[in-house]
Structures are given as C-alpha cells and as structure tokens.
Chain A
Amino acid sequence: MIILNILFLATGMAKVGAGVGAGLAAIGAGIGIGQIGANAMDAIARQPEMVGEIRSNMIVMAALVEGVALFAVVVAVLILFVG
C-alpha cells in the first residue's frame, strides 16, 4: 500500500515534471528564435535588397529550432498521456 501511495505521488510529480519541461522548452525556443530574428533584422538592415533570401533562411532556421523544442514537448506529452 505504501508503494502504491508512493507510486501515485510519483505520478503527480511526473505531471509537474512534464509541465515544467514543456515550459523550459518554450523558453529555449523563444530565446533561439528570438536570436535568429534579431540577426535577420540586422542583416536586412545592412543589405535591404537581400530581404527575400534572408527571410526564407530565417524561416527555415526558425522551424529547425522549433523542431528541437517540440522534441521536448513530445516527451512531455508522452509523460502526461502514456503511463
């Protein structure tokens, strides 16, 4: 019974862990994509005629960084919904 209680406690803590993990992932994505955006703005300011190329590269890099953050989100969803 004690083990069951500990297990239920562990499940509760697991959900907290999942929430915190997803939040941290969001912070990481925010910082990363913010830096990409900032450098893209600088590049556009330096060379306005390259706006199209810079924009496409910025979007590609942002999607890659976001993909990494979404790995963490998938782990959090796994914790919440599977076991």
Chain B
Amino acid sequence: MNLISFPAITGINYLCGKFHHLKMHNRRPVLRIAAVFLIICLSATAGEGRVFAAPAKDSTLTPKPGFDANKVILEHIKDAHEWHFFAVNGHQVVLPLPVVLFVAGRGWSVFSAARFDHGRQTYKGFRMLTGDYIRRYNLPAKSYFSGKIIAVKADGSPNFDLAIYDYSLTRNVMQMMLSAFLLVLIFVGMASKYRKNPGKAPSGFQNALEPFVLFIRDDVAKPYLGKRYLAYLPFLLTVFFFIWINSLLGLIPGAANVPGNLAFTGVLALITFIFIMFSTNRHYWQHIFWPPGIPLWVKPILIPVEILGIFTKPFALMIRLFANMLAGHMVILSIISLIFIFGGLASIAGWGFTPVSVAFTVFMYLVELLVGLIQAFIFTNLSALFIAQAFEGGNHQGEEEAII
C-alpha cells in the first residue's frame, strides 16, 4: 500500500509546484531528488498495509447471534481485500479486489480476492483466514486476524515456513489511488488554467482552492521556513491536500477509512522525518547532543530526552492524525449501530431511536468534516515547524550558562 502512496505523493509534489506564476527557483533540487530516491527505496519494504487490524478478541473469532456491533464497526474501519458496498436481500454487493502476493520461492501471484470465496476456499496454496480457521488451528490472535492471507500446506494446515509479502490492492490502496488521481486531475487542471490565463482573476474550482494554497504558502511555509520555503512548499501542499481529500472521501458511506490507518499516517510521518533529517544543520545536532545554557549536571538527563525527542515528534504527528480520524469514524459507526442494538431489544425501540441517532450522526459528520480539515492543517503546520527547527540555529552566540 505504501508502494502506491509514495509515488503518488512525489508525483503530486512536483505538480503542485506548478501553481506559482513565478518561475520555480528550486535552489535545492538535490533535496527533492534525494527525497524521491529514498521514497522509492523505502517503498520496497512496504508490507502489509493493515497495521491496525487486530480484531476484538471476542467478536470476529466467535460469531455472536443477532447484531454484533463490535464486528460491524471493526469491519468498517479495517482494511479489506474486497470492497463491500451494501447488501440487497441478503446478497452482498462486493467488489473483490486484486490480491498481489510475493513468496520468496514462488515469485509473484496475482489473482482476484473472489477466488478465496470469503475465506472458504484455498487457492494456489494461499488461504484467507476466517474466525473458524483461526480457532481450528489455534493461531495466536495477535498476529493472525480475519482477512489475513497465509500460506497453507496441501492438507489445509497453516504453513509457517513461507513468508508472504502482501502487496495486495486492498480497499485503502484503491481509495488512495483514487484520491491521488483526483488530486492530479484537480491540480493539473488548475495549473493549466493559470498558464492559459496569466494575470487574470481565477474562476471556478480554481477560485475555491486558491485561498487554501495561498494560506499554506503565506501563513505556514513563509513564516516558518523563511527564505527556503519554496523547496518545501510542494511537500507541504501535497501533504495538506492528500490528507484532506482522503478524509473527505473516507466520509462517504461505503468508502475506506484511509487516514484512520496507522500505516498511512506512519508513512506520512516517516516522509516528514526524512525531510527533517535532510534539512538539519550543525546547530541542530549541537543543540541535541550538547544543549547550551544548561548546567552540567542536568545534561546527562536532558541529552537522552533530546535524542528521543527527534523521534517522538513525527511519532506524535502519526498518532494524532490516526487517532482523530479513527475516533471520528468509530463514533459515527457506534451511533448508527445503536439503532440496531436497540432494534435488537425491541423493534419499536429501534424505529424510535432512529431520528435521534440520525440527527446525532449528521452532527458528527459535520464535526468530522471540520476535523479532517483541521488535522490536515495541523499536520502540515507541525511538519513545517519541525523542518524549520531543523535548520534554524546559529543565533545563540550571546548566551551564557544559565544561572540557577
């Protein structure tokens, strides 16, 4: 899944730079080339795109009678190999997605997830796990969850020797590709409009997006990054719009919850971390390993904290975006599930509760729209801040040791 997001991001990265009427004076082309190279190398290590996919211990393994709210909520939040839209008359309308597997000895296998028949069939020595299978073979619930693909031996028992690298085009991947495609469409259109009508006032959709682009440039990039803002502006714009459009698409019923996936936010935080590392200068490392203005006996305590701080800042970025998006979706799904839970108790209670639940859901949807935008902005803002902190230093010549 990361395999798709990285090239999409860097591609948009470049296209976003075409916005500006002025010529792109990219004084640090090596930075961008290095970023792209690293991204391509790192994408080779992309594995399962489903980090947050551990199921509830009781629900997805042992089916409960009636309406299992836990299972329904987790199914909507997690990634999956098929896109489930709705059910008509008990018949599920699903779109099975391609499964792409790489096994060291056997090479690549590409086939449709429909071959697995929801986990009932073994295909080409692979099997999609279901609750029954996990219970039958007593697989540890922490690493083996419903929907994971494992290799099986001829008799159907799990084959622990073969390591499978799962590069499938799952729901999240397809949604990210869709959002990347939409972004390219929108921004290439905007860029060509700017080129065709130079100096004229913007119109249409271009008019709607221009304030956001200018906001990122004037209130996020320029204040923090100063003279070197142009080198980082494509990255900041890409991150902002990518997170925002994924949040928006994730709100459509039936869509996948992309920013609520730890792997997605983790990769974005990793890219930010790489940008930070590439922008550091001597003062940054000096401040970390020998903080100025601190008495000598505090330094052994502070230096490990500072070293940890290098990693906790992008980590916080990752967790913040992930938790916000996940919490929002879980609340919406829980409120809707309440209808069915009440309906399970008494049919009239379900009907009566529906208006309350729907009203609350509409309110939560509005909050989620706002939160999606705010979180995208916060991610961009903090990325710019951390990058700026990496190369600010150098103006502490006058400071002496602090007098305690």
A residues engaging B (CB < 8 A)? 56, 59-60, 63-64, 66-67, 70-71, 73-74, 77, 80-83
Contacts and interface: CB of A to CB of B under 8 A. Distances in A.
A74 to B, nearest CB: 5
B55 interface: yes
Majority SS at the chain A contact face: helix
Interface in B36-86: 54-57, 74
Contacts of B255: none
B327 interface: yes
Contact of B56 (A63, A64, A74, A81): A81
B277 interface: no
A71 B323 contact: yes
B335 interface: no
Interface in B179-233: 219
Contacts of B322: 74
Contact of B55 (A64, A66, A70, A81): A81
26 contacts: A56-B219, A60-B377, A60-B378, A60-B381, A63-B320, A63-B374, A64-B378, A67-B316, A67-B320, A67-B323, A67-B324, A67-B378, A70-B319, A70-B323, A70-B324, A71-B319, A71-B323, A73-B327, A74-B322, A74-B326, A77-B326, A80-B56, A81-B54, A81-B55, A81-B56, A81-B74
A82 B142 contact: yes
B168 interface: no
Nearest to A72: B323
B60 to A, nearest CB: 10
Interface of B: 54-57, 74, 142, 219, 316, 319-320, 322-324, 326-327, 374-375, 377-378, 381
A48 B322 CA distance: 35
B337 to A, nearest CB: 15
Contact of B324 (A59, A66, A81): A66
Nearest to A82: B54
Contact of A74 (B55, B74, B323): B323
A26 B19 CA distance: 42
A56 B216 CA distance: 13
B210 to A, nearest CB: 18
A74 B322 CA distance: 9
Contacts of A60: 377-378, 381
Q: Considering residues A56, A60, A63, A80, which has the most beta carbons from chain B within 10 angstroms of its beta carbon?
A: A63
A63 B378 contact: yes
Majority SS at the chain B contact face: helix
B323 A63 contact: no
B147 to A, nearest CB: 15
Given A60-B378, A83-B57, 12 more contacts: A56-B219, A60-B377, A60-B381, A63-B320, A66-B324, A67-B320, A67-B323, A67-B378, A73-B323, A77-B326, A80-B56, A83-B142
Contacts of A80: 56
A70 B327 contact: yes
B375 A63 contact: yes
Nearest to B370: A59
Contacts of B56: 80-81
A32 B253 CA distance: 33
B57 A59 contact: no
A67 B88 CA distance: 40
Contacts of B374: 59, 63
Nearest to A62: B374
A62 B322 CA distance: 17
Nearest to A11: B57
A35 B400 CA distance: 35
A33 B142 CA distance: 36
Contacts of A77: 326
Given A63-B374, A80-B56, A81-B55, A70 B74 contact: no
A70 B219 CA distance: 26
A56 B381 CA distance: 12
Contacts of A81: 54-57, 74
Contacts of B320: 63, 67, 70
B319 A67 contact: yes
Across the A-B interface, the 7 shortest Cβ-Cβ residue pairs: A70-B323, A67-B320, A82-B54, A63-B378, A74-B323, A81-B56, A63-B374
